[in-house]
Every structure is written in C-alpha cells, then in structure tokens.
Structure 1
Amino acid sequence: MATDTLRKRNSQTSSVPDSSPAFGDGGTSQSDHPAGEIKYGAWSQVFRALLLLTWFDCGAVCINVTQFLGAPLYWWDKNYYYAYMALTKQSFAILGIAATRWFASTKVRVSWDSELRGQFHKTSAGRLETTFPERLVYVANHQVYTEWLYLWWIAYTSRMHGHIFIILKESLKYVPVLGPGMMFYGFIFMARKWASDKPRLQHRLEKLKTHHSGPMSGSAGLDPMWLLIFPEGTNLSANTKKNSMKWAEKQDMTHLRHLLLPRSTGLFFCLQQLQGTVDWVYDCTIAYDGTPKGGFAPDYFTIRSTYLQGRPPKCVNMHWRRFAVSSIPLSDAKEFEKWLLDRWREKDDLLERWYETGYFPGDAEAADSSRGISKGGYIETEMTLNNWMEIGQIFMVLAATALVINVILKFFGIFLSLK
C-alpha cells in the first residue's frame, strides 16, 4: 500500500461513527451479557453515576486548578514547570485508577514474550510491578473507550505515569476541564489532516527530545517519555470493521480477523523523528474476557455497563512484545507499512489463539512463584493503587494554597484590628 492511499483510507474511516454509544448498553440482554446479569438497578445506577461523576469531576477540577496555579513556573524555571506538570499527570492517573478500582474492579492477566523476561513481577501484596525503560513508544490495538486507562496503569506500574504522552483526536482539546488539562500534559492532538498535523506533530516531538535537570527528569540523558499511539485510529466496531474490510478488498489484501488495518503514517513519522532517542517499541495486544469470537467488545463493555451496571469484563488480558527501533525499516515508508501490517497480522494470530483457548501465550520458562508468575508464564492481578494515601496528591496543592490564604487572611484581620 502506498502512503498516499493509506492517508486516503484514514480520512474515510475517521468519518465513520462507532457502532454503539459509549454510554449505551450495547443492545445485549441480561442473559447474554458475558459479565452476567445487571448487578445494580436503575436507582442504584443513578446513585453510582452521581458518585462517579462527583469523584471524577471534583478530582479533575482540582488537578486543572493545580495546573493553572503552577503555569507561571514556565517563565520562572522550565525545569520545575515540567516536573510540576508531571506530578499533575500522576494525579490524573491516580484519579482514573481509583475510579476503576472502586466502580469497575476486574482481574488483569498479563503475559509477555520471552524477550521481556524479568520485566514483570508481582509484589507480596499482589500488585503488578514492571521495569520498562524510561523512554519508549508503545502501541496497542484499540477495542473499548477505556483502553487508555489500562495502558496508563501499566505506566504506573513502572512509576512512569507522570511521563506518558498520548496522541488524541483534536476535538478532545475542547472538552471543558479535561481539554486544558491535556494541553498542560503535552498530549498531541491530531485533526486527521496530514498537512496540518505534520508540523504540529513535529513541534511536539521535538519537545520530547529535550532534557531538563530538575526533579522528575529521569536517571540520565533525555527526559523520560512514554508515547502511546493507537495505529488503528479508532476502536473496533461493526462499522469500522466493515470499512477496514472494504479497504482490504480494494487493495487486494487479506483482511484481519480480529483487528482493523493499522495506519502507518503517524507512527512512521514519530519513529523517524525520535530515532536515536528511543530504543524500543513496546506492543500490547488487549482482549476482554467474554467477547465472543467475531463480536465487538464495545457492544458489551460500555461505560454504562462497566461502571454503572456492575458488568465490567471478568478479565482484561494483555500480551506484551517489544521491537528494537534499530530493526524497524524507517528509511522507506512503504517498507514500514509492510512491517507494521506484518506485526498486526501477528497480533491477529495472538487474538485467534486467545479466542480459541482463553489465554495468550505465556513465558512458561519464567514461572516463579516468588515473583508471582504462574506456571503458565503469566501474572494475574488487579488494577489498583500501590498505596491509597496517594490519593492525597490530587488535592495537596489546593489544600496547601487554601491553608496559606487562610493564614494570610488571619494575619490581615489581626493587622486591621490593631489599627
């Protein structure tokens, strides 16, 4: 496939709406839902929605105000500014992880290729810890709306949740509170028009090749950075799959069974620009227990069913691989398209195996009960915080600011009373 035709496909598929609304129930009945019957009735769902919105909105507003309070640091000392914003990014990860743990608790099964042996283990408390590099690009297939939360949590398990950067569609920039917050985070917004996206993307990638000497600046060399990209561009649904299959037939290609055809232009440009500053591309293949073969996860695991009805996936399955950037063909766009499509075909085979057996291949030789690795070569855990006291980080700056203002007002009141 030529790059220009791939760009044309991008514009076609990006205009197709998803098959089911994020807040819908997917049209499934209680009996045929993979997570079983609805656990909470209508009024309980309303109550849970109010609790979830209160927690998430209050936390997001606190983080956003914290960001605006720290914005002047940019003109005073950029080292402290970027460290400060990294802390607010950590706070948002904590906010999302806590919300998922409370409202949509689910098991997570993590497996990996043998090349990643030693980078995963389970603590004595049952939590996942990973030792991924400080700088990497990571890609994943895209199935449900909340995928980014699980992938941000993986960054949390490597204590890199303050250094994640996500490529998003431009419309999210205008969401109240969240949009400005994501701009402070340095997230990259794309309009899906390459002529306007390319210079913007290049500008942001240049910033990701910098070094700051202040706090949160990493162990050595360039600043820590995890750049998350979904090459499929949108989540897997009936409509997007139909378009992807049509495109495959038009290009005389064999279509993928469980994935959309990946878009190569953005990822190719990112890796070209970051070449020499990033050693690895990490790849995650995600599957959700209960999704039937040939079915679509968004039809079952909507925000409503997952967070309000008490029907999250029984298990989120993640299989990790990595590829050396030096082994990826970055001098020729057509060769890179072929390389990426080959990797997606491998992911398709991984998913076929998962649909047939319920498991991704594990690294059985790494089995080690002392590290929490099962005989099958995988780790089962839950998405949760290491320490619930971390929640205080979300409100720490505002609480300190309120305390300082209170002290100033009291001193001012005493001063006036003495006059």
Structure 2
Amino acid sequence: MADNTLRSRTTHSAVTNGPKDTTNGSPVAPKEEPHPAGEVKYGTFSQILRALLLLTWFNCGCVSINVTQFLGAPLYWWNKDYYYAYMALTKQSFGVVGIAGTRWFASTKVRVSWDKDLRGQFSKNKSGRLETSFPERLVYIANHQVYTEWLYLWWIAYTSRMHGHIFIILKESLKYVPVLGPGMMFYGFIFMARKWIQDKPRLQHRLEKLKTRHGGPMSGSQGLDPMWLLIFPEGTNLARNTKRKSREWAEKQAIPDMKHLLLPRSTGLFFCLQQLQGTVDWVYDCTIAYEGTPKGGFAPEYFTIRSTYLQGRPPKCVNMHWRRFAVSSIPLSDAKEFEAWLMERWREKDELLEQWYETGRFPADPDSADTGKGISKDGFIETEMTLNNWMEIGQIFVVLAAVALMVNVAVKAFGIFKVLK
C-alpha cells in the first residue's frame, strides 16, 4: 500500500512539476534542441531510397575495386614496381568513390585556412576546386571527431593528386570486414591491435616497405614511392564516453585535460617518425571543426551517418586549419621529450578550437590573400568537396569492363571456331 502510494506521488509530482501549457495548465513535452543543420530534409521513404542508392553506389564501387585488385594481384610475383603502381590506381578509385558519394549525398561547404608557413600551397582552380601543393611524402595528423573524417582527409590528398598514395593506421578488427578488409590489405594499410607488443613488429614491417625504393611508373622523384601516412594520435573519436576516459586519465596523471580534444597518444606516432627519418621531411597537422557543434558538445551526436547522408543534414561547413612541422625540429631521440612536444602541439590545437568556438573561424593568413587564386581577403578558401572531373568515375570500372570485353570476344571467337570446325 505504501509502495503504491509512493509510486502515485512520484508520478503525480513528475507530471505536475513538468512544463505546462500556459493556456490550460496541462503538461507538455520538453522541446528538443534544434539540430545545427536544420530540420530533416527527407521523409522516411526518401531516406530509405537514399540509403539504397548510397549502398548501391558504395557496394558496386567497392566490389569492382576489390575484383580489380584480385585481378592485378599476380603482378606482385612478376614485377613489384608495377604491382604497387597498379594498387595505387585502385586506391585512387576508392578515393573517387568516397568523394563522389559525399558530394551526391552529403554536400557541404569546406573552409580551409593555414599558417603563414604554408603560404603558396593552397589555391582554387578555374572551376573553383581546391588545389594543394603538399610534398609527395609526409606524415599528417589530425584530431578525430566523426567517423567520416578520413573522407575529408582523403579528399585533401586528392587535391594534391596523392589520393593513390594515402596510408592509414586502423584498428585490427576492420580487416575482417568483407570486401573492405581485403581491399585495405591490398592498399597496405596498417592494422593495430592496440597492444604494443603485437603492434610494434607489424608496424615496423609496414614502415620498412614504405621507405623501400622503387622504380615503377608511379614512383616518386627520389625513387621513394609517394606516401601520405595518416595518423589520429587520439586513437579514437571525440565522444561523451571517450572524453570521460580522457578526463580520468588526465586526473590520474595530474595534468590538465583538453577542453575540446582527447589527450593524444604518442607511442605510435613517435615510432613512425623514428622509422621514417631521412625519408620524410614534414609532419602536416590538420585541426578540424564542424559548424553547428556547440561548445562542449560532441559532433558524433549531431552528424551521424544517418543524419549526414540520409536525412540531408550534414554540417553546414567543415572547417580545416593546417600547420606543418619540420621532422628535423621534432625531438625523436627521447620518448618523453617527444610526448611533451606532442602534448604542447595538442594544447595549441585546443586553443585553435577555442577560438573557433568563440568566433566561428580559425586564424587565417590575410597576407596570402589573392583573388586570382581564390583566396579571400581574410586569407582562407571556401570550396566544396567534389571531383575535378566526373569522368574519373570511369576509372573505377575500366579494368572490369576491359576484362568483360575480352571474355566476350573470346567466347564469340570460340563459338566461331566451333562452327568452322
């Protein structure tokens, strides 16, 4: 009886203390916080249709690329230089799949700014597309907020025509994903179990390959293959639970936590830079922010795959700020010194994000303003993530089409031979 009374009182209290309609005093549901990208643009049926179209495009592209990779795999035993060049072309194709899919289903503005040290490396072509002139070999790092971040960073490689030479460090479980897993292994991506005893020899093996000299058709100017090695030092994306763990770790280590980032992990990046010394001159750093994410909020809660690609609610603008650091200036002889160096760079990124949350802009380089190159008077570029030429889509299917044509000719020739016989 007492329990029932308590339940009744609790329920009554919850109802009477909630928000009320001012006209008749009845309770009303609390208003949902508006989405930063606005209302849902597509209804349920349209979302289902968009999902089917997106999956069809992505799956057809991936299967075509994967079959193309298997067809070219025997090149490894015939001529490794041709094999690596062939796989670089299939890697370009995957970049095209991602860029085209994002352009069709989640088109958004991209605002790019940079430090004065990078002046002259950004411009827009006559079609309004971003072009960058980054080195053919570099390590680039970035903060990690949403799962689709790698697409925007792959697109940056595309703007330097390096989208066939990107290498990404990923968690090991991804290599078991059908089609994608084997494809990423052909690409030479590096899979980590997050257990350093297991990861170190595997990472060392892959890095040795990345600094091996080749003489193939897509080799670089110094005999080293072009290489853009992408690393997310935070190890995972910024979310409510990962931020909590980062804060707990900061308290345990008695160091200040980041305001808008996770604390970086230095071990993997330190090892990579040590191993690649003499073959890489620069570390490029990208700080990414998504317009509409409130200060103290978490981008993955707003910009999910569904909201971005199906509901028509991508971020209104993806903001990127680029810096670079000479490898020769980075302390690579001592792990503790490197950890301190990386932590300092991350605190600088945290301040960059603080400025962005306060002003809506990263710092720019007004002295680089050049309307002829598409650089605004404030020193940044606004563009969109898209292909330079839509004919590039044909590259994805050209090998399969050629094989199908040859098989068709062979079958018909065999039929004619049988008739004549």
- Please say whether Structure 1 and Structure 2 have the same fold, judged by a TM-score greater than 0.5: yes
The separation in 2 between residues aligned to 1:130 and 1:201, in whole angstroms, is 29
More contact order relative to length (CA 8 Å, sep ≥ 6): 1
Q: Is 1:378 aligned to residue 380 of structure 2?
A: yes
Q: CA deviation at 1:334?
A: 0.4
Equivalent residue runs for 1:77-88 within 5 Å = 77-88=79-90
Aligned to 1:270: 272
The separation in 1 between residues aligned to 2:351 and 2:131, in whole angstroms, is 27
- Quick one: which amino acid aligns to residue 331 of structure 2? P
Q: CA deviation at 1:220?
A: 2.6
- Quick one: which amino acid aligns to residue 292 of structure 1? P
Equivalent residue runs for 1:313-352 within 5 Å = 313-352=315-354
1:168 partner SS: strand
Q: CA deviation at 1:156?
A: 0.2
The separation in 2 between residues aligned to 1:149 and 1:219, in whole angstroms, is 27
- Quick one: which amino acid aligns to residue 34 of structure 2? D
The separation in 1 between residues aligned to 2:309 and 2:351, in whole angstroms, is 31
Q: CA deviation at 1:284?
A: 0.1
- Quick one: which amino acid aligns to residue 239 of structure 1? N
Q: CA deviation at 1:344?
A: 0.1
The separation in 1 between residues aligned to 2:173 and 2:369, in whole angstroms, is 45
Q: Is 1:362 aligned to residue 364 of structure 2?
A: yes
Q: Is 1:399 aligned to residue 401 of structure 2?
A: yes
Q: CA deviation at 1:218?
A: 2.1
Check 1:210–1:381 CA distance in 2 against 1; reply closer, same or farther (3 A cut): same
Does the 8 Å contact 2:214/2:223 carry over to 1?
no
1:39 partner SS: coil
The separation in 2 between residues aligned to 1:250 and 1:79, in whole angstroms, is 49
The separation in 2 between residues aligned to 1:215 and 1:48, in whole angstroms, is 39
Question: What are the Cα deviations for residues 195-217 of structure 1, in whole angstroms up to 9, with x where unaligned?
Answer: 00000000000000012111111
Q: Which runs of 5+ in 2 are unaligned?
A: 1-29
Aligned to 1:166: 168
1:84 partner SS: helix
Question: What are the Cα deviations for residues 289-308 of structure 1, in whole angstroms up to 9, with x where unaligned?
Answer: 00000000000000000000
2:256 partner SS: coil
1:124 partner SS: coil
Q: CA deviation at 1:237?
A: 0.4
Does the 8 Å contact 1:165/1:186 carry over to 2?
yes
Q: CA deviation at 1:29?
A: 8.1
Q: CA deviation at 1:158?
A: 0.1
The separation in 2 between residues aligned to 1:331 and 1:369, in whole angstroms, is 44
Does the 8 Å contact 1:30/1:36 carry over to 2?
no
Aligned to 1:152: 154
Q: How many residues align?
A: 392
Aligned to 1:304: 306
Question: What are the Cα deviations for residues 224-270 of structure 1, in whole angstroms up to 9, with x where unaligned?
Answer: 00000000000000100001011101111011000000000000000
1:282 partner SS: strand
The separation in 2 between residues aligned to 1:222 and 1:71, in whole angstroms, is 21
- Quick one: which amino acid aligns to residue 235 of structure 1? N
Does the 8 Å contact 1:30/1:38 carry over to 2?
no
Aligned to 2:256: 254
Q: Is 1:116 aligned to residue 111 of structure 2?
A: no
Q: CA deviation at 1:30?
A: 7.2
Q: CA deviation at 1:111?
A: 0.2
Does the 8 Å contact 1:363/1:378 carry over to 2?
yes
- Quick one: which amino acid aligns to residue 332 of structure 1? D
Check 1:415–1:30 CA distance in 2 against 1; reply closer, same or farther (3 A cut): farther
User: Normalized against structure 2, the TM-score is what?
Assistant: 0.92
Question: What are the Cα deviations for residues 301-352 of structure 1, in whole angstroms up to 9, with x where unaligned?
Answer: 0000000000000000000000000000000000000000000000000000
Q: CA deviation at 1:31?
A: 5.6
Aligned to 1:224: 226
Aligned to 1:411: 413
The separation in 2 between residues aligned to 1:212 and 1:276, in whole angstroms, is 16
Question: What are the Cα deviations for residues 104-148 of structure 1, in whole angstroms up to 9, with x where unaligned?
Answer: 000000000000000000111100000000000000000000000
Does the 8 Å contact 1:114/1:363 carry over to 2?
yes
2:294 partner SS: coil
2:288 partner SS: strand
- Quick one: which amino acid aligns to residue 156 of structure 1? Y
The separation in 2 between residues aligned to 1:211 and 1:121, in whole angstroms, is 31
The separation in 2 between residues aligned to 1:373 and 1:221, in whole angstroms, is 34
The separation in 1 between residues aligned to 2:345 and 2:395, in whole angstroms, is 39
- What root-mean-square deviation, in Å, do the aligned CA atoms of Structure 1 and Structure 2 show? 1.0
Aligned to 1:41: 43
Kindly name which structure, 1 or 2, has the bigger radius of gyration based on alpha carbons.
2
- Quick one: which amino acid aligns to residue 399 of structure 2? V
Does the 8 Å contact 2:137/2:228 carry over to 1?
yes
Check 1:29–1:364 CA distance in 2 against 1; reply closer, same or farther (3 A cut): farther
The separation in 1 between residues aligned to 2:231 and 2:269, in whole angstroms, is 7
Aligned to 1:94: 96
Q: CA deviation at 1:49?
A: 0.1
Aligned to 1:58: 60
Does the 8 Å contact 2:66/2:183 carry over to 1?
yes
The separation in 1 between residues aligned to 2:73 and 2:184, in whole angstroms, is 13
- Quick one: which amino acid aligns to residue 340 of structure 1? L
Aligned to 1:68: 70
2:235 partner SS: coil
Q: Which runs of 5+ in 1 are unaligned?
A: 1-27
Aligned to 1:18: none
Q: CA deviation at 1:221?
A: 3.1
- Quick one: which amino acid aligns to residue 245 of structure 1? R
